[in-house]
Structure 1
Amino acid sequence: MAQVDFFIGNKNYSLTCQEGEERLLKRAASLFDAEAQAILEQAGRMPEPRLLLLAGLMLGERAAALEDRLSSLERELNRIKTNPPRVEVPVVPPSLSEAMAELAARAEALAQKAEDQLSA
């Protein structure tokens, strides 16, 4: 087991964790300490249990907001997957279609004429 030392609200703590989880624990402690420092800057000195409670509640509030946002994004993604946006394809006007068909017929006639001349 690994041991991780960290600070929360200017107090040193030490916890053991599974090997490989040190980075995650340090990150979590850093987030917790940031909330505690923000509380201390606003409220000044306070008892440790109250500071830890407030910092935990602040992190819980942030996590709840992120979960709400994630749920909203997942619903939007599912909506897009089940009902993809329509792609508008321009319609070729009939007059242009006729002109293109005429050009294609001319090109085929020219190709046939060239083949006939090469065969002769």
Structure 2
Amino acid sequence: MPEIQITIGGRQFEVACQDGEERYLHSAAKMLDDEAQVLSDQVGRMPEARMLLMAGLLLADKTASVEDRITEVRAELAEREAELAGLRNVTIEPERIEVPVVPQAVTDTLAELAARAESLAAEIEEKVG
């Protein structure tokens, strides 16, 4: 079981940990040291036990607010998942669009009328002009 040295609030501590957990212990010690440094800057020198207690409480407070936020986000995620599941069960009927088809006989008749109108227009132009 490795023993490592950590510094918290300017004080050295020797701590044992499981093999492979040294990195996590250093990370946790850094967080605790950061809080201890804030306390030291604000209050000044204080007894070791009090400094560790106060730094631990500050970290616990931050952790509690993060856990509260995680709970809120999980609840919001559950709501969104329920909404999505509800949408999956909804059958959406496609909109029916009908496009009228002009029968060929009507097209032929319109073409014939257009030709007659052009012929009449040409006759009128000849008589007037």
Q: For residue 3 of structure 1, report the CA deviation from its aligned partner.
A: 1.5
1:8-46 deviation per Cα after TM superposition (whole angstroms, max 9, x unaligned): 000001111110110110000000000000000111111
Distance in 2 of aligned mates of 1:18 and 1:77: 36
Structure 1 stretches lacking a partner, 5+ long: 103-120
Per the alignment, residue 69 of structure 2 pairs with 69
Q: Which residues of 2 match residues 16-95 of structure 1 at below 5 A?
A: 16-84=16-84
Q: For residue 98 of structure 1, report the CA deviation from its aligned partner.
A: 2.1
Determine whether 1:98 maps to 2:98: yes
Structure 2 stretches lacking a partner, 5+ long: 102-129
Distance in 2 of aligned mates of 1:39 and 1:50: 10
Which amino acid in structure 1 is aligned with residue 29 of structure 2?
A: A
What is the TM-score of this pair, normalised by structure 2? 0.67
Per the alignment, residue 11 of structure 2 pairs with 11
Give 4+ residue runs of structure 1 displaced > 2 Å after superposition. Answer: none
Which amino acid in structure 1 is aligned with residue 33 of structure 2?
A: D
Q: For residue 2 of structure 1, report the CA deviation from its aligned partner.
A: 1.4
Q: 2:19 aligns to what SS in structure 1?
A: coil
1:64-115 deviation per Cα after TM superposition (whole angstroms, max 9, x unaligned): 00110010111111111112286xx9x85x6xx223x75xxxxxxxxxxxxx
| Larger radius of gyration between Structure 1 and Structure 2 | 2
Distance in 2 of aligned mates of 1:44 and 1:21: 32
What is the TM-score of this pair, normalised by structure 1? 0.72
Which amino acid in structure 2 is aligned with residue 64 of structure 1?
A: A
